[in-house]
Amino acid sequence: MTTQIVTVNVTQNIAPAPSQLQRTGALVSQGATTIGAGNTALLTQLTDLTSILSGAVTISSMTWGTGTVTVTTATAHGIPTSDTVPVVIAGVTPAGYNGVVQATSTGTNTFTYPLVSNPGSVTVQGVVTLEDVSELTAMATTYFAQGQTNAIYVLELGVGTGAQGITALNTYINANLHKFYAYALPVEMSNDSTFLAFARTWDATTASVYFWIKATLANYSTFTSTKSIVSLCQDVTAPSTEWSPAAMLWVAMNYNPSNTNKVTPMAFSYVVGVTAFTGTQAQQQLLRTANCNYIGTGAEGGISNTLILWGVTADGNDYTYWYSVDWVQINVNISISNAIINGSNNPINPLYYNQAGINTLQKVSQGTMNSGIAFGLVLGPVTVQAVPFTTYVTDNPSDYAIGKYAGLSVTYTPARGFTQIIFNVNVSSFALA
């Protein structure tokens, strides 16, 4: 029998998995898909959307009377009774019946919509499709036009009014907090009178929830001063297949901070498949003052590419400002929690509530902030502060009894890019004597 002189015990520190929250987003649908209310579907490419889109419903009869068209469909149209939602009527003869209309459901297979003039008797019946189908398609088309590297989810809320959509989204977020970082909302929801109050409930500095919306020259100022909103005014000449904010959303989802993939400024980021804003200089200034983004070009720099102007959230901060704040709070939480859990399972070097333990947590936190500097998120240098053990427990004796330590802190400035340069030129004319 061999005598064993040395026995080696091995403990393991388990590294944290990186958070993917800031790379998750959802295109919100109100009945545009078949996946069922409250469910999600992952899109890795545009063609993934095709199989889940709601189809057109055949119209069996249409009649006009006193400014109202009454429609009967061959199968259930899916609009809840008494709800009014936008739909697209197509393929009808006379063509005066066709277009995007506000349909009010009067039954499972019937709805009405207003139409001032009588186009005449219908000779060819057409089809009706929820307008949200075309909007969701435009969202996904514009998003994937930027590239196929970033997947995005579709979140189905079910057919309903804008107000009902807001209520459903609020319920979903509260039940699935931090499942998604970004939500692209249909116009019907962002234009609803309940939207602004709802969005501002997610304005806390720790909320980490953002709503991407398509604004117009008629409503852009509505969203000013709201941290959780990222608005972009789409040009009036843009085709129906374009949803410009989705291009900016793709840039945000493309951020994946590391030493070799630093976070770039959102302002002036290249985007494709979108229409440059053709409004006047005065309108552009009004949008900028109201913290509403729009698509521009790099013409001033001799570049023809379309790009994002000005890369801000509706409260006026750079998008990367709040992105940095969220990154810091997410990753400091992970790194400190990881150190405490590993330290509680290390019999060789356990982590205790003492000065050595505080030093460890301070070092771990400092490491996270140093990564933030290296990743282009934090303006360095930055020093994590820690109140000494003796001082803290003397001032807060009851905290030690429950294992609470509130002495770690940091003050920092998020990194950002340039948006305005002033170059002063002084010209001198020399006179000959």
51-61: pLDDT as tens digits: 999 989 999 99
- Same-domain check for residues 290 and 365: no
Confidence band for 430, pLDDT divided at 50, 70 and 90: confident
23-39: pLDDT as tens digits: 999 999 999 999 999 99
The answer, yes or no, to whether residue 1 has pLDDT greater than 70, is no
- 252 exposure class (CB count in 10 Å sphere: 0-12, 13-18, 19+): buried
pLDDT at 109: 95
- Same-domain check for residues 303 and 405: no
Peptide bond into 80 cis (omega under 30): no
- Same-domain check for residues 118 and 262: yes
Residue that is last in its domain, among 293, 311, 329:
311
- The answer to whether residue 316 is domain-embedded is no
144-184: pLDDT as tens digits: 999 999 999 999 999 999 999 999 999 999 999 999 999 99
- Same-domain check for residues 331 and 223: no
User: Which residue carries 């939602």 as its tokens?
Assistant: 85
| Mean of all residue pLDDT scores within the chain | 95
pLDDT at 432: 65
Q: What percent of the chain has pLDDT over 90?
A: 94
- Specify the number of domains making up the chain: 2
- The answer to whether residue 424 is domain-embedded is no
- The answer to whether residue 291 is domain-embedded is yes
The answer, yes or no, to whether residue 12 has pLDDT greater than 90, is no
What is the pLDDT averaged over residues 224-238?
97
pLDDT at 329: 97
Confidence band for 10, pLDDT divided at 50, 70 and 90: confident
Q: Cβ(43)–Cβ(151) under 8 Å?
A: yes
- Same-domain check for residues 210 and 105: yes
What is the pLDDT averaged over residues 71-77?
94
Q: Cβ(14)–Cβ(342) under 8 Å?
A: yes
Distance CA 34, CA 415 (A): 42
- Same-domain check for residues 397 and 290: no
Distance CA 234, CA 221 (A): 14
**Parallel/antiparallel/unpaired status of strands 25-29 and 40-43:** unpaired
- Same-domain check for residues 301 and 336: no
Kindly state the DSSP code that residue 237 receives in the 8-state scheme: T
- Same-domain check for residues 97 and 188: yes
What is the pLDDT averaged over residues 388-408?
97
Q: Cβ(152)–Cβ(278) under 8 Å?
A: no
The answer, yes or no, to whether residue 247 has pLDDT greater than 80, is yes
- Same-domain check for residues 156 and 193: yes
Q: CA angle, corner 315, sides to 170 and 255, nearest 5?
A: 75
- The answer to whether residue 10 is domain-embedded is no
- Same-domain check for residues 157 and 39: yes
pLDDT at 13: 87
For the entire predicted model, the pTM comes to: 0.93
Residue that is last in its domain, among 311, 334, 350:
311
Kindly state the DSSP code that residue 228 receives in the 8-state scheme: T
pLDDT at 433: 58
pLDDT at 429: 83
367-391: pLDDT as tens digits: 999 999 999 999 999 999 999 999 9
Quote the domain boundaries for residue 386. Answer: 321-414
Distance CA 416, CA 325 (A): 12
175-225: pLDDT as tens digits: 999 999 999 999 999 999 999 999 999 999 999 999 999 999 999 999 999
The answer, yes or no, to whether residue 284 has pLDDT greater than 70, is yes
- Same-domain check for residues 379 and 333: yes
- The answer to whether residue 9 is domain-embedded is no
- Same-domain check for residues 76 and 43: yes
- The answer to whether residue 6 is domain-embedded is no
